[in-house]
Structure 1
């Protein structure tokens, strides 16, 4: 199989997995409390990731001196933000949740500019303004016309995005060279234990109330979405350029919106759907390589 075909298949796989994840989270939280559901998700994923690491001869242990990074990743990349995502879907539709999370590249760019003083091209700054303006308008519009719209759900998703972006811009730069399986294995296990214990005391889950559909959704999140999503995106980044891989952020919300419409009969308003095109344009501009256009803006340290 040639590289072009591999990239195409990996791209389709990543978009499909990321797009279906949001519906799966909505189905999971229908009968399973969010903290417990996320704990079960990681309890399914962790052994599979550890097994895969063993099969590939990859260590599951973080290097010496990376203990703080390990804790931060376990809590603020896995445990808390993933719980916030599934918690938020109790209040907003899976389609709207996916649109909010698709702004991850925008959040990363904002934090990189203000925390790391990264140079930003004019077209990236323009994309940032377009994406944020579109997102704010969509959220405001959906909260006023959609009964599923809720400030609580939106806030949960926004905080989750910011946590992921903060870890990405700060911790990941200090974890360069760590294999993707190492990065996910033990932090995922720690998150599972932490959430299962927390969920037991805070949510007192009733196992008899868990539906087969919700349990199946959680297993899907832990296995297919967990292992498949991680490895497919990792391989895609190895074979394709970062810009090509980032196009997934433009496609998976479309899949999530289509699934939400087909299975739940929910649709964003026509205005919001139109604004989604501008939002995706903004995200695309933030991910275009800096050399695409000549002019750059530099945010220098004072």
Structure 2
């Protein structure tokens, strides 16, 4: 039994590390993809690589590709508002925002989900969650103001794009809890991912034809990484992690991946945030912790 428990713990730790590293490195890789592709094309190619594997895994696992009758319109909404729009906005933002700051902006997702849940479902918000939300907003606001006009944040358009992507994901996440009950994660991702690939590639190629003679091999490798590692392994690792631990423990990745992204940006690109911004990261993560922390009422149920 001890050996089984130890193996189980090691598998959980490996999944947690895999998700953290995947989410933490994705932001820099998106930056590299932009050297040869537009945000729309890079995202479309990313999904084109990921979708066949996700479809194959769904079929192999006996999961249906289509949502139940009556929920298929929502499946189309996932292709547009969970995949196409937010992921394009995220990589578009990195044209003017550093990968480290982009990851930090995206880490406000728990606050966005909490806010959307309260607005759409009137889910209760504890006092500690409200305090955590205020701390996150103040810390993030300080970072944005301090880094604006530097190489970290060259334009507010990038900040707005990331935050809009966060809002889109938060809304779709809350709606998924309502409409996707009992639907597997593979069914929820496979066809919407493929649909997003076609939408983005058609739109992207019409707007900006690709000149293959000027495509950098590093950018191609970056798109492959985004499709295979982030698009497949990242999704599956997080799904398996959620099955093994509580939602609160799984959400601990939100404390790790921004630190990885910020460290990589500093070490590889020489882009370090200011001392004041670095100081604000601590209360920012503390606020995220308070938002994610289960309330005594929900924990006792």
TM tier relative to shorter chain:
over 0.9
Give, in angstroms, the shift of residue 148 of structure 1.
4.2
Q: Which of 48, 54, 57 is equivalent to 2:53?
A: 48
Q: Secondary structure of the equivalent of 1:31?
A: coil
After superposition, what is the alpha-carbon deviation per residue over 1:81-130, rounded to whole angstroms, capped at 9, x for unaligned? 00000010010000000000000000000111122111111111100100
Aligned to 1:264: 269
After superposition, what is the alpha-carbon deviation per residue over 1:161-190, rounded to whole angstroms, capped at 9, x for unaligned? 000001111233211111001000000000
Distance 1:201 1:172, change over 3 A: farther
Within 5 Å, which residues of 2 pair with 1:131-170? 131-146=136-151, 148-170=153-175
The TM-score, its normalising length taken from structure 2, stands at 0.95
Aligned to 1:108: 113
Gaps in structure 1 of 5+ consecutive residues: 295-302
Aligned to 1:125: 130
Aligned to 2:283: 278
Aligned to 1:37: 42
Looking at structure 1, the residues matched to 46 and 61 of structure 2 have their Cα atoms a distance apart, in angstroms, of: 23
Give, in angstroms, the shift of residue 65 of structure 1.
0.7
Moved more, 234-243 or 57-66: 57-66
Aligned to 2:207: 202
Instruction: Tell me if structure 2 keeps the 8 A contact 1:123–1:293.
Output: no
Give, in angstroms, the shift of residue 147 of structure 1.
5.9
Moved more, 55-64 or 15-24: 55-64
Give, in angstroms, the shift of residue 62 of structure 1.
1.3
Distance 1:293 1:225, change over 3 A: closer
Looking at structure 1, the residues matched to 298 and 245 of structure 2 have their Cα atoms a distance apart, in angstroms, of: 21
User: Over aligned residues, Cα RMSD in angstroms?
Assistant: 1.5
Aligned to 2:244: 239
2:216 matches 1:218: no
Gaps in structure 2 of 5+ consecutive residues: none
Instruction: Tell me if structure 2 keeps the 8 A contact 1:85–1:160.
Output: yes
**Ranges of 4+ aligned residues in structure 1 off by more than 3 Å:** 144-148
Instruction: Tell me if structure 1 keeps the 8 A contact 2:48–2:194.
Output: yes
